[in-house]
Structure 1
């Protein structure tokens, strides 16, 4: 590749301008040329176009110490870093399961809040849940899902939990004053049921 670089044939005003062809190699030549032309270091010119090259991290490596603590991996990372590095896929699987579970609970709360006309109370509750569970996007996740035309499976499971809580609350209190408490009860029943199903499936696989 060649470009024309404007140079002066002599140093006086009115002198003819010549165009000097300068050969530029395809790999890095243009950047080197700009470096020579501007007097800037090559690395600075390269950074201008490509930015800083960043090491690619596994998503699990981006989890904070508090997030790792919630899924019982923080201590392992501190005491056995090699095991931690070899378990990144497992860590991410456990974190995703944690996020999914908390989305289900938060979405069930949202549905009950809308039904009981206590939207602001429920939003504040979900914000607190977001902080406790170290999932910053939790409120946005459930609000976005609610506005979707088609709900994902975790939202459908949350609807079952909310339905059970709603029926119980209506039987106990027509004003649904304790609806959120019943959501927590229903959620615990859901977790126990899921755990029993998972245990049975594990036994079937082993057998």
Structure 2
């Protein structure tokens, strides 16, 4: 994704800014994945990719192939482009009961994918589609062990009966205060720009 190329070089600045900025009255957390673009990678069937971020859960116990995105094997995955940089603290996922899944996040600093949440097998809670962390409450969130700063998420299956499905993925957080973050590092950016200008001048001689 083209936007990601821009986000990469800002990544280190943004992450440092989040760590260094004093507490700023943060806005209420929202589902930052809502209606964001989803790309299905590998062989995945069933519902449209966009249903994974439409904010709608299937009724508890719904058949795993009814109104869901489903697949076989653990190599396929769904990727959500958040279309911006966010600090995420909690998540919700609704998936087939007797399987385990994994949510990864894009580490902007290192341009790698890292674990955000190991979504557990919920076979003991009943068959079909079960919401994690609470099958009886689609609004209860799983709190991450630590906040993550990212611009994209991936959803994989990691094990179970080899027949997997997911119907909803939500991530709660807030947008990174990018203008404030960049202001902190403005002197460094200006120095870098000056250095590049000098280097370009030297090469043209």
Q: TM over 0.5, yes or no? A: no
RCO greater where, 1 or 2, for CA within 8 Å and sep 6 or more? 2
Larger strand proportion, structure 1 or 2? 2
Flag the structure with higher helix content.
1
Question: What TM-score bracket applies, with the shorter chain setting the length?
Answer: under 0.3
TM-score normalised per structure 1: 0.25
Q: Which one has the largest radius of gyration? A: 1
